[in-house]
Amino acid sequence: MSHRAGFVNIIGNPNVGKSTLMNALVGERLSIITSKAQTTRHRIMGIVNSDDFQIVYSDTPGFVKPFYKMHEALMSFVETSLKDADVFLYMVEMGEKQHHSDIIDRVNKSGVPVILIINKIDTTTQEEAMKYYDNWKGIFENAEIFMISALHGFNIEHIVPAIVEKLPLSPPFFPKEELTDRPMRFFVSEIIREKIFIFYQKEIPYSSEVNVESYKEVNGMIHISAMIYTERESQKNIIIGKGGASIKRIGIEARKDIENFIEQKVFLELRVKVLENWRNNPLILNRLGYKP
Ligand SMILES: Nc1nc2c(ncn2[C@@H]2O[C@H](COP(=O)(O)OP(=O)(O)OP(=O)(O)O)[C@@H](O)[C@H]2O)c(=O)[nH]1
Ligand SMILES: [Mg+2]
């Protein structure tokens, strides 16, 4: 057997470009991307197949020091990704200073091949980039290093061959036509959450969550009803906006992206509900898919 397959887990600090890279490698917009830190809250798999290999990428939440119970769930997703990787893609960005020496230590001692991705090289000079390279080379002594721009697709073509040669010989883990392990409802809720991250500032994106309550096809059109949860009445009012203007904008932008993603016409209904302190409520977190 010469078929190779394995889990390639993308880990790193918030906002370094993990989701941008996964989408570029998979060729689909599976993970949402925003300029705000802690956009990704789940482990999201993206599968790339060829006749000879299957790469199961996992995009993960950025490392976070738990403040809410929700953060504990996020870190438990990172923890699983630390345990089941066949190859690590450890990602850092230009200018990054904060090191997680505990995690770096575990990755270095794991015996799992590490590819260090230094991202956002479009934001710096050649000279600075080389300094960064030397610095990180000292931290990940055994890693293969790529300096890339995930956003501009620069240098990413060299990553796949480097991954494939490190994958174990194995039959595929998923059927070859599968792109991800997540159902459509998940991506719909993520697209809506992305718009909330983009359109609102401060606490609102972080204290919001989206749940798709129904998803059905009626006369060739997909009818979706989704609930946006916030923590306070004041946040709910801001999300709705004057005369419903803000939520309407979220609906329009989300619907366009959902239609592109599922390639069908969509009717999207959005509602908002206060769910006090949901980020610290284990029962609600469980129901919303944050199962540590
Ligand atoms: N200039 C530049 N920006 C980038 C690059 N890659 C990603 N970004 C931007 O960096 C921001 C964060 O990107 P994400 O892909 O969401 O980062 P992430 O690591 O998944 O972030 P979390 O999910 O919050 O942990 C977005 O605004 C991206 O457009 C790059 O190569 N160059
Ligand atoms: Mg992300």
- Digit-coded pLDDT (tens) for 2-23: 999 999 999 999 999 999 999 9
139 and 234 fall within a common domain? no
d(CA 7, CA 258): 28
Q: Mean of the pLDDT values across residues 239-253?
A: 97
Q: Is the pLDDT of residue 1 over 80?
A: no
Query: What are the structure tokens assigned to 272, written together?
Result: 């908002």
Q: Which atom of ligand 1 is nearest to the CA of 40?
A: 23
What's the structural domain count of the chain?
Answer: 2
What pLDDT does residue 97 have?
80
160 and 198 fall within a common domain? no
162 and 191 fall within a common domain? no
121 and 244 fall within a common domain? no
16 and 151 fall within a common domain? yes
Does ligand 1 have an atom closer than 6 angstroms to the CB of 54? no
Q: Which of 133, 166, 199 is the last residue of a domain?
A: 166
Does ligand 1 have an atom closer than 6 angstroms to the CB of 26? no
Q: Mean of the pLDDT values across residues 171-194?
A: 95
278 and 156 fall within a common domain? no
What pLDDT does residue 8 have?
98
Q: What CATH number is associated with residue 218?
A: 3.30.300.20
Q: Is the pLDDT of residue 99 over 90?
A: no
Whether residue 281 is contained in a domain is answered as yes
Q: Is the pLDDT of residue 292 over 80?
A: no
Q: Ligand 2 centroid to 130 CA: how many Å?
A: 26
- Residue nearest atom 7 of ligand 1, based on CA coordinates: 17
Q: Is the pLDDT of residue 248 over 90?
A: yes
- pLDDT > 70 fraction of the chain, expressed in percent and rounded: 99
Whether residue 92 is contained in a domain is answered as yes
Whether residue 227 is contained in a domain is answered as yes
d(CA 136, CA 158): 19
24 and 155 fall within a common domain? yes
Q: Which atom of ligand 1 is nearest to the CA of 23?
A: 15
Whether residue 178 is contained in a domain is answered as no
Whether residue 27 is contained in a domain is answered as yes
Mutate which of 9, 11, 13, 15 for ligand 1 pocket (most atoms within 8 A of beta carbon): 15
Whether residue 171 is contained in a domain is answered as no
Q: Mean of the pLDDT values across residues 69-88?
A: 96
What is the per-residue pLDDT across 22-71, written as a single tens digit (0 to 9) for each?
A: 999 999 999 999 999 999 999 999 999 999 999 999 999 999 999 999 99
Q: Ligand 1 centroid to 214 CA: how many Å?
A: 31
Whether residue 188 is contained in a domain is answered as yes
Does ligand 1 have an atom closer than 6 angstroms to the CB of 37? yes
Does ligand 1 have an atom closer than 6 angstroms to the CB of 39? yes
Print the domain residue range for 248.
184-287
43 and 78 fall within a common domain? yes
What is the per-residue pLDDT across 116-173, written as a single tens digit (0 to 9) for each?
A: 999 999 999 999 999 999 999 999 999 999 999 999 999 999 999 999 999 999 999 9
Whether residue 174 is contained in a domain is answered as no
Does ligand 1 have an atom closer than 6 angstroms to the CB of 14? yes
Q: Is the pLDDT of residue 98 over 80?
A: no
Q: Which atom of ligand 1 is nearest to the CA of 91?
A: 19
Q: Ligand 1 centroid to 18 CA: how many Å?
A: 7
Q: Which of 134, 166, 198 is the last residue of a domain?
A: 166
127 and 198 fall within a common domain? no
Q: What CATH number is associated with residue 73?
A: 3.40.50.300
